[in-house]
Amino acid sequence: MKKLLKLPLRIATLPLIAILLVFQLISSIIVGLTSIVTNLLATVFLIGSVAGWIANAPSGLIFQTVGLGIFFAFAPHIAGWLLEKLTDLTLNLLDFMLP
């Protein structure tokens, strides 16, 4: 009886697994390519904050540039962590598909 109930769910998960795999592939490529840009932006903002500190810029401006630099530095890592969670979900669905 339990096997009969799992069969429609297994059939329904097939398109979901395919969609998740395609989404994961596209997202990995996008994160890989944009990480170059975000790392460059992080460097520019952090160097700009040091230059502003040396030039006695307003402290609010310096904190903003430091914050933006840290955000751009950690953005690819956060996106990678989310992709790892997506991979875990896909693997759990694949495990459900196996008898």
What confidence category does residue 4 fall into, taking pLDDT thresholds of 50, 70 and 90? confident
CB 74 within 8 A of CB 46: no
Residue type, 95: D
pLDDT at 16: 87
pTM: 0.75
Among the residues of the chain, which ranges form H helices?
2-54, 59-97
pLDDT at 94 over 90: no
> Is there a contact between 62 and 49 (Cβ–Cβ < 8 Å)?
yes
Task: Indicate if the pLDDT at residue 99 is higher than 80.
Answer: no
Nearest residue to 96 via CA among 3, 8, 13, 4: 13
Task: Count how many residues are written for the chain.
Answer: 99
Q: Which three-class secondary structure state does DSSP give residue 94?
A: helix
Find the angle CA(92)-CA(17)-CA(27) to the nearest 5 degrees.
100
Please write the tens of the pLDDT for every residue from 10-54.
888 888 888 999 999 999 999 999 999 999 999 999 999 999 999
The pLDDT of residue 1 is above 80? no
